[in-house]
Amino acid sequence: MDLLSTIQGSLLEGFFPAGWDLAKIDACVDDDPATISNRQPWWHPGFELVPCQSLGDFDTLLGHEIAMCIRRSRDAGEKLALILPVGPMGMYRWAVYFLKEWNVSCDHVSGFNMDEWSDAQGNTLPSDHTGAFQYAMEQAFYGPLGELTIPKEQRHFALPHVLPSYAEKINAIKAEGGKLAVIFGIGRVCHIAFWEPQFAGEYESEEAWKQDTHRIGAKLHPLTIEQNAITSFKSRTTHVPAFANTIGPGLFLNADYIIGGADGTLSRGMMWQGLSLWMTLRHEPTPWIPSTYMPTQPGRLFFLEELAGPLQAECN
């Protein structure tokens, strides 16, 4: 007896994205955690998984990868467009640490926050609101870098009057020989940024879906709301906005390099991200599961080993 055998007639019938085959999704999970790194035919040859034993290891290694990406572009004399998430966050402390240790200036970098909370019209929280992603980035990354930081005029946030210009700005950087790196986490419903799986039903084709660069006032999936209530709002669901401004696949699928992180464990064996990680790695790419496209690009995905499972019921 499980969800697959009891969903008919339940309150969850019709709740999940229409393109989800729950049986196929469940089959993505292997009871042997060691097999999570088994390469799939659609993975890019330059895509690599990096297991991390602890959260401390995860934050350090991910921060080092971000700092190395910035350092490599500077050493190569290239401009760098960085698409940045707010979540995971612990890596920014270490990225700052390494950049300061190496005395690497970030004046060649342009930062693009991938999303921001909004209302249905795309209006956002004030930049000094503690819940705003812009505030989080200033406190965790831009501010602590001090004199080495990304210049203010090269910091871009997902505001309704700024987000539509991302594609043009990033294309201009790449036209000058620069690179695009996408740093990302994986949502409970496998979104990248706040590009939700149910959006797939609005497009005539996969190619049309892939070309869309952003969305203002995107309607969030209920599981995204609850994920953020748990991870960012100390369980206070009533404080989580129901909409967000977000980049789309027209940006996050055009990376020269990706840096991903999955650290969604809680405590006492509890987690929220294990199934999402297996889906990302084992389900063939589909617009109904946006994160499945990330392994088709070169780069690294860092994950806590605990997320690989085994994903089996426990009494906590």
Q: Which domains does the chain have, with CATH numbers?
A: 47-308 (3.40.50.1360)
For the segment 78-88, the average pLDDT, to the nearest whole number, is: 96
183-221, pLDDT tens digit by residue? Answer: 999 999 999 999 999 999 999 999 999 999 999 999 999
Nearest to 223 by CA among 210, 204, 205, 237: 237
pLDDT tens sequence across 126-160: 999 999 999 999 999 999 999 999 999 999 999 99
Per-chain mean pLDDT for the chain = 97
Q: What is the pTM of this model?
A: 0.97
Question: Are residues 226 and 265 in contact, defined by beta-carbon separation less than 8 angstroms?
Answer: no
Q: What is the DSSP letter of 32?
A: -
In sign, the C-alpha dihedral spanning 243, 231, 277, 225 is negative
The SS3 call for residue 280 is helix
β-strand partners of 75: none
Residue 99: its pLDDT value, please? Answer: 98
Per-residue pLDDT of 53-76, as tens digits, reads: 999 999 999 999 999 999 999 999
Percent pLDDT > 90 in the chain is: 97
What residues contact 261, with CB distance under 8 A and at least 6 apart? 58, 62, 88, 91, 183, 184, 185, 301, 302, 303
